[in-house]
Amino acid sequence: MSAAGSADPGGVITARPGRALPTLVSTRREWAAPLARGRPAHTLPGLLSSLYALCGGAHRVAAHLAVNAALGRDTAVDAQSRQTLRADTLREHLRRMWLDWPRVLPLAGDDAGAAVLASCPLLQGSADVDTSRGWLEQQVLGMAAADWLARWDADRESFVAAWADQGATHPARWLRAARPACQGLSAPGVALAVHASRHELAWLAQQLRDDEGFALRPLWRGQAAETGPWTRLADRRGGVVADASAFMRLAARVADLARLAAAGGEDWLALGAAGTGPCEGLAWCEMARGLLVHWVRLDGDVAPRVDAVHVLAPTEWNFHPHGAVARRLSELPASVAPQRVQLLAAAFDPCVSLAVEPAVALPREDRCTR
């Protein structure tokens, strides 16, 4: 999440608590389509990874798979793609925990956080998660990843509350500080699982092909669904989000990091691709913010070029004008502290700035005097 109020070419989402839906207004645009059209197909992964640099590794993987599917090539996912996605997702989790979370809720006496983060091998150019496991266990989890996950799986809410209270690491101390402020920020929603079947993926491809506005206002089964580390296909617990509080959604990011850091973590995130029509391909991957989808149509056989492309990012699901965040904002008082709105947003993690529009006082003559 970008710092609120900063100039951001990716757009800004404005939150308007205490109002009728839509309580979220976005200036985001789909830049991929106009910028990629007419370019050689093989350049698309590099272009999209640069355009969406915040999660560039995930975009590179998805674009590569989508182009291969559109060309009719083998869509099997190789080990390198899985490791790239794993490392990229871990980096994003770390940046959010150390850089974005403290902007929302500063931690007193934790000035060394940036220096600790800079010492992580993954942020020093290494893509080898195994060599970074020790750092992740020491600086994030405070214990072996396998032990942390065993306790999380046994009783999530009780364990993460106790873990946060111990405050052995920066993320634990931050969650301990955030827990009181997260009270009352429950936002039940529908867990997105459009990538769970080929039938659903074919439907998704059709929406992206036929509806120019779908990528900015997506619906699944007629509903505004949500996606994130708490909706992984490998960890499905029903169609409704069970841990609906902002606090548990934040904690789920730590759990996601533990899954990725543990041995075998390269298999945790779902990703794949499929041909969806003549010269068309769809690719998907679970990444730090949730499910990312790329759809591409190519033109030409000898030297194929991009005819059309759509990028459907997690932010468009999670910050849909009628989604879980928007509905919860409509239930909050207009005078709610901006920090609470930012905490709710941080739990869903937009990839752009989020501004909170202050409550507007009614003119004196319009106020009820009874």
Cβ contacts of 265-270, under 8 Å, gap ≥ 24: 265/86, 265/129, 266/79, 266/82, 266/83, 266/86, 266/129, 267/82, 268/86, 268/232, 268/234, 269/82, 269/85, 269/86, 269/89, 269/232, 270/195, 270/232, 270/233, 270/234
pTM, rounded to two decimals: 0.92
Average pLDDT over residues 230-259: 86
What pLDDT, on the 0 to 100 scale, is given for residue 54?
84
**Is 12-366 assigned to CATH 3.30.470.10?**
no
Give 369's pLDDT tier (boundaries 50, 70, 90): very low
What pLDDT, on the 0 to 100 scale, is given for residue 238?
52
What pLDDT, on the 0 to 100 scale, is given for residue 235?
86
Please state the domain extents for the chain.
Answer: 12-366
Tell me: the pLDDT tens digits for 317-338?
A: 999 999 999 999 999 999 999 9
What pLDDT, on the 0 to 100 scale, is given for residue 115?
83
Residue 9 clears pLDDT 60, i.e. is over it:
no
Residue 364 clears pLDDT 70, i.e. is over it:
no
Residue 361 clears pLDDT 60, i.e. is over it:
no
Q: Which residue has the higher pLDDT, 354 or 359?
A: 354
Give 242's pLDDT tier (boundaries 50, 70, 90): low
Average pLDDT over residues 302-317: 95
Residue 236 clears pLDDT 90, i.e. is over it:
no
Give 109's pLDDT tier (boundaries 50, 70, 90): low
Residue 8 clears pLDDT 50, i.e. is over it:
no
Average pLDDT over residues 214-241: 87
Average pLDDT over residues 163-189: 93
Average per-residue pLDDT for the chain: 90
What pLDDT, on the 0 to 100 scale, is given for residue 360?
66
Q: What percent of the chain has pLDDT over 70?
A: 91
What pLDDT, on the 0 to 100 scale, is given for residue 293?
98
